[in-house]
Amino acid sequence: MTPRPNWKIPPHPDPAAVRALRRGLKLPDALCRLLAARGHLTPRAARSFLRPLLGTLHAPAGLLDATKAARRLARAVSEREQVVVHGDFDVDGIAAAALLASWIRALGGRADAIVPDRLRHGYDLSDAGVDRAAARGAAVLVTVDCGIVAHGPVRRAARAGMDVIVTDHHRPGSTLPPAFAVVNPNRPGCAYPNKDLCGAAVAFKVGQLVAEELGRPADESWEYLDLVALATIADQMTLTGENRVLARYGLRAFTHSARPGLMALMARAGVGADRPVDSAAVAFSLGPRINAAGRVGDASDALRLLMAGEATEARRLAEMLEGDNRRRRELEQRTTEQALEALERAYDPERDSAVVVSGDGWHHGVIGIVASRLVERIFRPVVVLSFDGDRGRGSARSVPSFDLHAAISSCSQHLIRFGGHHQAAGMDISRERLPAFREAFQAAARGAMGDAVPRPEIRADLEIGLGEAGPDFFRYLRYVGPFGPGNPDPLFVARGVGLAAPPKVLKGGHVKLRLAQDGASLPAIGFRLAERAPVDELGSGPVDVAFSLIESSFRGRTTIEAKVVDIHPAH
């Protein structure tokens, strides 16, 4: 069972700041307290946060090599040279490829988009990707969301006569690929202020400069923000500053998107029919359907969907992605069950700071999700490896306090290849190196975390009364979004709350409750709460409850509910 979380509740926000916000903004007291708790202490600062402006976006020319790349692409458009845009097989790479190729076509150029097949081509730009671009007659090959460590394939493309433009956001290696231009906010020497752009956002910035070179109005670029928001949210980029602006306006663009593919995907997922598209809809409904194609199907189907020009084809492709998503869920459930069995055999909480589990024939497309499920269960860094013969492919996920990329880098002598981020990584390994890697990874985790037992934390924003958590307050909360890393869903704590009826445990371990306090009541749902909270000990209360607010629609009726993340008898 997941360790019980520690609750971190900040002190009450400064009363003087709250009063100033209430006078200056004429907003509910609870919202003003939330704004103050998140550091927006003056009416001016709060107003700027609640109404971010496109004019605050950073100039794209600040990206090193972006102007050079844009000028080469503008020449390709003018001279009708063939451009091939090579993405990756996740939402970010697919959205980025669709964005830049569609934009070049709209500007009058010739552009194709391709993405790799996970099983046949692997990830990143590969020799196979270069050969596919050459077969399409590419004069210019542009990578999006990949390419920053693909030195060999970049050289191969250059030898074949292509000008290669690498656009990426992943960490570069010790040297940059030998490309015509390398556009990456994280490359050495790049002064661009936002180092947390996703791949599609980098492609968007390059597209803005190409359009500018060709004399197009700046406002035309905003129609591509739906794809930028899709990628920014699905790739879990930090939703602060520029990223929050891109996501905010991109989500608005969903409501009037001219893309048949996005409209078909939204319709199939039941998104946007009765309320605006928000970050949760992207993260939990749209993004997984696109990712499913790359995980268990053909990522090219998702690319064709986002670039579809007419509704019938878009609906056909959306249905294919729906089938991929069903298959992905089935594979994920089966592999998770098998991985949990392996975990039972391999994991000793008194001994292990991290866990490496392995199996034969687990589908590569779901092992990353399975690793996340295991982290949720034991709250330790986890590596899940799937072997086919003597070679294994792995995905790793971490807890917030542990730098996964650094730890795996320290074990790299045992790996064929690896890459990733602070919280997620991938790798290839030979079977004979598994014991040594497991030992080295454990040592790295022990060295980083010491004897401390990691425990999840619930970081609440604010204590509120149930009477404050009504529909009006929820409507105002939309202006605090979009929510995600860096700007999380507001989390509230209510103390001394009664339970109007005994908690009801539903299928899947979900718990249904009705909270009551001082004449106010609020329906509540705790997803998988029965696995980690002793609901049979709660009685009729009083309880302390940590929750966010969500909308729930049933038979045309929309209500506000508490989404409970933890609950215990009142202290």
Token pair, residue 72, equals: 């080469």
Pair (95, 42) in one structural domain: no
* Distance between CA atoms of residues 12 and 402, nearest Å: 30
- Of 180, 197, 216, the one marking the end of a domain is 216
Residues 6+ apart with CB under 8 A from 554: none
Longest pairwise C-alpha distance within the chain: 75
Position 226 in a domain: no
Pair (93, 211) in one structural domain: yes
Pair (549, 517) in one structural domain: yes
Q: What is the pLDDT, as a whole number, of residue 2?
A: 62
Pair (19, 68) in one structural domain: no
Token pair, residue 324, equals: 């991929």
Token pair, residue 523, equals: 């329906």
Q: For 75-153, where are the E strands, in sequence order? A: 82-86, 110-114, 140-144
Pair (441, 470) in one structural domain: no
**Cis before 10? omega within 30:** no
Contact yes or no for 538/499 (Cβ under 8 A): yes
Position 410 in a domain: yes
The CATH number covering residue 485 comes to: 2.40.50.460
Position 479 in a domain: yes
Tell me which residue of 413, 351, 355 sits closest to 383, measured CA to CA.
Answer: 355
Pair (550, 475) in one structural domain: yes
* Distance between CA atoms of residues 291 and 321, nearest Å: 9
* Distance between CA atoms of residues 447 and 72, nearest Å: 48
Q: Is 441 strand, coil or helix?
A: helix
Q: What is the pLDDT, as a whole number, of residue 533?
A: 77
Token pair, residue 269, equals: 């997922």
The number of folded domains in the chain is 3
Contact yes or no for 471/560 (Cβ under 8 A): yes
**Cis before 11? omega within 30:** no
Q: Is 476 strand, coil or helix?
A: helix
Residue ranges of the alpha helices (H) in 401-492? 404-410, 434-449, 471-477
Q: Is 447 strand, coil or helix?
A: helix
Position 233 in a domain: no
Position 336 in a domain: no
- A 10 A CB-CB count for 113 gives 26
* Distance between CA atoms of residues 451 and 46, nearest Å: 42
Residue ranges of the alpha helices (H) in 259-310? 260-269, 279-281, 287-296, 299-307
* Distance between CA atoms of residues 18 and 173, nearest Å: 47
Pair (84, 193) in one structural domain: yes
Position 241 in a domain: no
Give the angle subtended at the CA of 248 by the CAs of 552 and 100, to the nearest 5°: 120
The CATH number covering residue 430 comes to: 3.10.310.30
Pair (444, 467) in one structural domain: no
The CATH number covering residue 154 comes to: 3.90.1640.30
Pair (490, 435) in one structural domain: no
* Distance between CA atoms of residues 31 and 475, nearest Å: 11
Pair (170, 79) in one structural domain: yes
Beta bridge partners of 545: 494, 567
- Of 408, 427, 449, the one marking the end of a domain is 449
Q: Strands 492-499 and 511-517: what pairing?
A: antiparallel
Position 337 in a domain: no
- Of 152, 181, 216, the one marking the end of a domain is 216
Sheet order of strands, 110-114 included: 110-114, 82-86, 140-144, 163-167, 181-183
Give Cα separations from 196 to 111, 170, 171, 207, 422 (angstroms). 27, 9, 11, 18, 13
Kindly give the interhelix angle for 91-106 and 299-307, rounded to the nearest 10 degrees. Answer: 40
Pair (211, 86) in one structural domain: yes
Token pair, residue 440, equals: 């080295």
DSSP-derived letter for residue 284 is I
* Distance between CA atoms of residues 407 and 394, nearest Å: 15
Along the chain (571 residues), what's the average pLDDT of each consecutive run of 10 residues?
Answer: 79 95 96 96 96 96 98 98 96 98 98 89 88 97 96 97 97 94 97 97 98 95 97 95 97 91 94 84 95 92 96 97 95 94 89 92 91 92 95 93 90 89 88 95 90 84 93 93 95 94 87 92 91 78 92 77 92 79
* Distance between CA atoms of residues 448 and 402, nearest Å: 7
- Parent domain of 429: 347-449
- Compute and round to an integer the Cα radius of gyration of the chain: 25
Position 302 in a domain: no
Pair (41, 142) in one structural domain: no
